[in-house]
Structure 1
Amino acid sequence: MHDPGIYALIQLMPTVLRPPSWALWAAATALDDLADQPDAKQTERAARVEAWTHALQRDLAAGASTDPVRHALVDTSLRWHLDLSSLQGAMTSTLDDVRGRHLTDWAAWRSWCNEGIAPWVDQVLHLFERAGVPMTLRLDRQQDYRRFIDGAQLTDTLTDLSADLAQGLLLLPQEALQTYPRAEEDLRQRRWSPATAALIRELTALAREWLTRPAMTTGMHPGAATVLDTAASLMRAQLDAVDAAGPTLLKHAPHPSLIARARVLAPARLRSSLAWSLTPLALPGPRRPSVTASDPSLAADDTAFRPPPAHPSGAVPPQIAAEQMPFHVAIIMDGNGRWAQQHGLPRPQGHRAGTAAVHEMVYGALEIGLRHLTLYAFSTENWKRDAEEITTILEAIRRDLDAGPLRDLDVRQRWSGHPDKLPQELVQALMREERRTRTRTGLTLTVCINYGGREEITRTAAALAQAAQAGDIDPHLIGEDDFTRHMPQPDMPNVDLLWRTGNEQRTSNFLPWHATYAELHFTPDYWPDVDRRDLWHALTTYCRRSRRYGNAARVPGPPGS
């Protein structure tokens, strides 16, 4: 272990989780070492990283490896049933780091953080979940988690500044460097100047702010909370060492003193030991079979997916020109309860029947090449319904997630909504699928559960107010782009087509911000009676509409529409 802080954090985990955590950390470290080898040229380092990742794919297929680090990772994957596909993006990110990066602003820098760090963190979260003590990350604290990861990456970047500069790398955004004229030139020349000192002071202060998120662990298991709180404290101690290093920061990596580390770790060890001693933990089961090289579910390669099953009738999607195809379709799945009553069944049975129609929409979207599909599954107003119906709806969603009928399709799954009142098991299942499919590039499927459009806008306004109060944004210059950036799903594109089944003609508080210019499509059939052919019909109907956006003649949709 190169980083004693990471070793100390893993020691705070329950004993059963230490070996798999060490395996994950060792793999990440091995890749970084290959990327940072000072005795090799850039092309050689890139080739070694690429060779290592390809060897991992072969080792996963074989179920073992002659390389001790890869063998530990393969064994961890098979024992704990981890899906390592999300690490493919992190490994590609390491390869890109070798080839050099130019980070224009903080947004690009954060994207780099998300590529390189988040997938490894997700694997640790999976381990806690498998052990029966999920490190539940509240959706209303997502901004805190993102900032925490930013703070961790910035701390790591400042610590490794000397090693990176020695290789000609400066992994800081131009937006930060331009604040202090000559700072970039001085850093690249490894000169300690007033501009360099001021820049480092500002960045360490920013990293401390990002790492200090006291509400982040609220409601979390005390053992898991201790790990995160201790990580934040160790990184703040590391930042103290960066500040104290002065000119030597450009010559070698600083480290906190043994006394500073002991002050953090001694009480943390006591708290974690007590927490885990009182917690029953699930042990890993027998190793699952290793995959074969021809198996499309090969864990380290997330590019091979099965096609959606054909429609029983043999129907195929219509040919729609790319410029006419809507980018984002949103559906209000209405009529489940009335369908059940029409068939002499209790209302809750209609929601179970509607699950098949959801699968059909996904199959149809994949076949025709739709990029974004958003489904309205449960609104904030639906809590007014009968308790049995509510339970059936939420349980049907959870069971479908656990069954995984979409697992082998090229579908990125996301959830939009609020976690309050939702069963914890459902929240965990939703977040698990988000993490597992985050690197997929086919259809993006967003399911809105406990979602309300006005509530979403209210939350966004509150986030903007907090940003203005913190000085991150000028309240007099707030525009639509600023509002969009602070939404719970900032990258959700505008809705082109909003379709509602069930013979009702209203939008019911669904995506009011995104659907401002959406074409509306209402159909009489109840949701359980529709299939992919109805989706295709809605798309062809859309193509016949005239999209003006205020102009006199038909014009293409705006960017992101």
Structure 2
Amino acid sequence: MGSSQSYYRPRGKTLLTNHRSYIVIELIRREEMTQPIVLKDLPSDLDPNRFPQHIAVIMDGNGRWAKRRGLPRIMGHQRGVDTLKDVLRCCSDWGISALTAYAFSTENWGRPLEEVDFLMTLFERVLRRELEEMMTENVRIRFVGDLDVLSPSLQAEISRSMEDTENNTGVQFTVATNYGGRQEIVQSCRAIAQQVKQGLLNLDDINESLFENFLYTKGIPDPDLLIRTSGEMRISNFLLWQLAYAEIYVTQTLWPDFDRHTLHDALLNYQQRERRFGKVGKA
């Protein structure tokens, strides 16, 4: 780490003091001091004031990772879970507020039955096994997608994980399961049309803010950064509405090999960009 530094964030008065492998943030708001937020092992070339608050990830390459090693595809998914845990912990360590993972799309049902069955079992087993640690890490879990078609036992684990972590104040961890961006928009339109039909809404009431209240992701800020692994240059029907102004970073790294170093590269690239939101740049 470098020598002691001070940073300032635009919200409130924020003082960051770099000390060894920790950066301690003291937040002072209206003369009230909150508990210090500790950022662990933050690389010195990253500026926490320019971090994305919300990262979305398309976790691609599990099957290819396994195939290159002569392993069944399911072993790639198993390794991918470990990677996701590490990335979630890194987000917590580095002060990133939200992480959304594309775990299973509406199109993934077309994969081999054995693989789909394994994934559903894996989701359930991981939720059951990791919930206690999520509570310890203060992570808040949320699932988005068409969850009604999942098995009753998996739905029960999903409900329990969301209910038990509802009041946690750490990283907002959203898992997109049986999720499709087009399907999400269609169901939102249907719900709005139904309310108009019932006289609960007027056409003039419909705007972007209202529309967002009918999305699966209601209440979750839009991602600032989308990371896709394995080098594929597409968004695969993921968060079509929410990614409107997200920065996109594609890495050749396969998801099971993604780690803090790869995340560091993505964040370094992100903080060098100028986000314009359709406006004229500063240059």
Q: Is 1:317–1:364's contact at 8 Å kept on the other side of the alignment?
A: no
Aligned counterparts of 2:223 and 2:42: Cα–Cα separation in 1: 25
Aligned with 1:329 (options 51, 55, 68): 55
- 1:503 to partner: Cα distance: 1.6
Aligned to 2:254: 526
Aligned counterparts of 1:504 and 1:540: Cα–Cα separation in 2: 20
- List aligned pairs for 1:148-547, cutoff 5 A: 316-318=42-44, 320-404=46-130, 405-547=133-275
Q: Is 1:374–1:445's contact at 8 Å kept on the other side of the alignment?
A: yes
- 1:500 to partner: Cα distance: 0.4
Aligned counterparts of 2:199 and 2:267: Cα–Cα separation in 1: 44
- 1:425 to partner: Cα distance: 1.2
- List aligned pairs for 1:13-162, cutoff 5 A: none
CA, structure 1 residues 391+482, in 2 after alignment: closer, same or farther (shift >3 Å)? same
CA, structure 1 residues 554+468, in 2 after alignment: closer, same or farther (shift >3 Å)? farther
Aligned to 1:291: none
Higher helix share: 1
Q: Is 2:60–2:254's contact at 8 Å kept on the other side of the alignment?
A: yes
- 1:532 to partner: Cα distance: 2.4
Aligned counterparts of 2:104 and 2:245: Cα–Cα separation in 1: 23
Runs of 4+ residues over 6 Å off in structure 1: none
Q: Is 2:140–2:171's contact at 8 Å kept on the other side of the alignment?
A: yes
Structure 1 unaligned residues grouped into runs of 5+: 1-303, 556-561
Q: Is 1:327–1:371's contact at 8 Å kept on the other side of the alignment?
A: yes
- Identity over aligned pairs, percent: 38
Aligned counterparts of 1:316 and 1:494: Cα–Cα separation in 2: 24
- 1:536 to partner: Cα distance: 2.4
Q: Secondary structure at the match of 1:326?
A: coil
- 1:430 to partner: Cα distance: 1.0
Aligned counterparts of 1:427 and 1:536: Cα–Cα separation in 2: 34
CA, structure 1 residues 469+414, in 2 after alignment: closer, same or farther (shift >3 Å)? same
CA deviations on 1:326-363 (whole Å, 9 max, x unpaired) are 11110000000111101100111110111110111111
Q: Secondary structure at the match of 1:489?
A: coil
**AA matched with 1:328:** H
- 1:473 to partner: Cα distance: 1.8
- TM-score, scaled relative to structure 1: 0.42
Larger radius of gyration: 1
Q: Is 1:547–1:554's contact at 8 Å kept on the other side of the alignment?
A: no
Q: Is 1:412–1:445's contact at 8 Å kept on the other side of the alignment?
A: yes
Q: Is 2:144–2:179's contact at 8 Å kept on the other side of the alignment?
A: yes
Aligned counterparts of 2:42 and 2:53: Cα–Cα separation in 1: 20
Aligned to 1:279: none
Q: Secondary structure at the match of 1:354?
A: helix
Q: Secondary structure at the match of 1:507?
A: coil
Higher strand share: 2
Aligned length: 245
Q: Give the alignment's Cα RMSD to 1 decimal.
A: 2.0
Aligned counterparts of 2:189 and 2:44: Cα–Cα separation in 1: 42
- 1:554 to partner: Cα distance: 4.7
